[in-house]
Structure 1
Amino acid sequence: MRYLLLLAAILGANTEPTDKSATAQTAALYKNLKKLATKGYMFGHQDDLAYGVNWRYEAGRSDVKEVAGDYPAVYGWELGGLEAAQEKNIDGVPFKKMRQYIKEGYERGGVITISWHARSPYGAEKGAWDTTHGTVASILPGGNNHQLYKGWLNELAKFFLSLKGNKGEMIPVLFRPYHELTGNWFWWCRNACTTEQFKVLWRFTQYYLREEKKVHNLLYVYNTAGDFKTKDEFLERYPGDDAVDVISFDSYQYDDAAKSDWFVKNTNRQLQLMGEIAAEKNKLMAIGETGYEQIPFAGWWTETLAKAIGGHKISYVLVWRNHGYNEWMKKMHYYAPYKDQVSAADFVKFYQQENTLFEKDVAKERLYE
């Protein structure tokens, strides 16, 4: 019965995004993603085209493609640093290059999602990881940093409006601001602002981008941390059905996947809860971020991730970036396999599964028409 309810929601009559002035391509993407979720889920990778293990900024390269023979269906990007008018984001990717990579993925038929690790309005020292209580209150209307925040949104608007395809059309983006909002490590999380303050932050951000800056190529992704145990916890900071297009959460594997099935059971349980919410609210759902650093378990893709998702009708799953050796962490930092990595052969099996969708699969669906 629950499956039938979710299927009915996915195929429901309401196939319009929350932005009633959305561009034609954005509205088409939303409608087609609902259809696509009945066939399988898209695989995504953060910063896939910009760099990988032991390479950076080499045209046409992708660790995912070099293992599976196909690009990911979803490309994840990050805007942290744009609010300060910097040339590069917090991961060192020049925004000029990012704009080109976004266009390349879109023109091939892929889907774009963007997160935003905005710096604290009280200073750049801690970046997004400032947990000073009252930070959100300071940027809301009437707050002492409100004009600063509007300046940030002006920078975001310019970037979103600059994303154009070959025919001059706006490139649709799944915008995932204030991710992991139920955690306790960012200045927008529950330890640093009240539930109502967060909702006002979300709705003001959306209002300003839509109404003041006329940005209509965004689908909004509500994204919690992976710590919720009930539907009420997941929805505690939910800003409203009219303000969200996709619901999602982030969840990473930290224990030994070869010895523990905790990730499989926990992710499955959370997808069950989120699936019920998606059915009730007629929303798409996704795993916004996931992964297993260095993927030391050779069968992680088919024996862990695929089993964790199971038969749940999610839109996409995105694994984090392939940074390579991280000087600050003093270790390798990557979440997708590269050629000859221990899980590469299993990733090919994952790619070959009928319900995993990569770029060639979604290109056939003509998602923007």
Structure 2
Amino acid sequence: MRLLHSANTSAGSSGGPVFDAEFQVVGLHQAGRPGRLASGEDEVCNRAVPMRPLVSKIESPKVPESVPLVPTVEKADEQGNAVTRTVIGRLGTVERIHRGLHPDATAHERLIVVVGEPGHGLRFTKYLVRALVTRFSGVYAAIDVANCQREDAASFAEKVAGAFAAETGAGPLTGLTTGQREVRSRTVVALSETLKEIAKPDGAWLVLEGFDTAAERLSASVMDLVGQLIAELPQAPGVHLVLAGWPENLPSGFETSIDYLVAPSAEDIARTLLPPAPTPALLSFVVPTVEMALKAAEQAIPGACAYRIAERARPAVAHGAPKEQHAFRGGTCRALRGSKVHSHRSSGEEGGQAQGASRRCSSPTTPTPTTTAVPMAGRW
């Protein structure tokens, strides 16, 4: 099995890494014929050794019992440049992915259906999946179904398999029976068996996004195919489905697989500026500052989506807006400057722990919050 790619190559390129649009290594270049026209729209057609069979031979780190931190993810901007994005909120999604990584994950734990209002991070989900899956075990592929409106079930199944550098071998529909019956008896079975093979030994994660943004609804056969893949999960150990914006009802038993997204809160933003597992007191100290920055961001970019507002508010707090706020705990006056919390003794304290918990430090002035614009890369 070889992976076809359209990257430009020259003599001496053999063995070089082949990257996908998200800068992930998907193969090692083997050979090519410069200038050869491919059957599709690509100008050249080269082949590479796919990484998936190689990765499956490498022992992966064990999945930890505690939920791992995902403070940032890597993605590509509209120009194809790699950028680092801070993860704001999404703790529930990360927990679901973590549960699915365990070898004994149940079928409903291997399905994540992400739903929410536009701008709440539906399209960001794939980066969280990739960050965790590639860190520990398994293979990952993502498909934007908004680009699959002309696909029928057979071609969509091959697109899914091809995303993992595989093929189903099912072929086109024969037309000897009804389309739906043939999809379920041939196409679904072939794709499900292919995914089960791909999932050996560490699991396969398929992310389908764009159900909510497609200009036209996907064909009924494709929607039925995805629905049947959900129904096949109990018989497909190691196969994981992540559906962002899925509009259909789920089969009985998968009600707990739904991940409802909400707008990032001031506490979500505050957690990105503090050490892991901050105390409630520290959170309550920082949150009011974040709330002020959120209000300023909403006024600066009216009508913007929730995540864009959150991304604009966060650096305003990190860079010192407001410049200084004080709170008193145990005789220590803490000032938030930038993203760090500094401590100094309150006036009159000679050393040791001060007495009188009711004493407070006060700031002589209340600075006006400022905001810092953050370039947006891609869409949420």
The structure in which a higher percent of residues are helix is 1
More relative contact order, 1 or 2 (CA 8 Å, 6+ apart): 1
TM-score (norm 1): 0.29
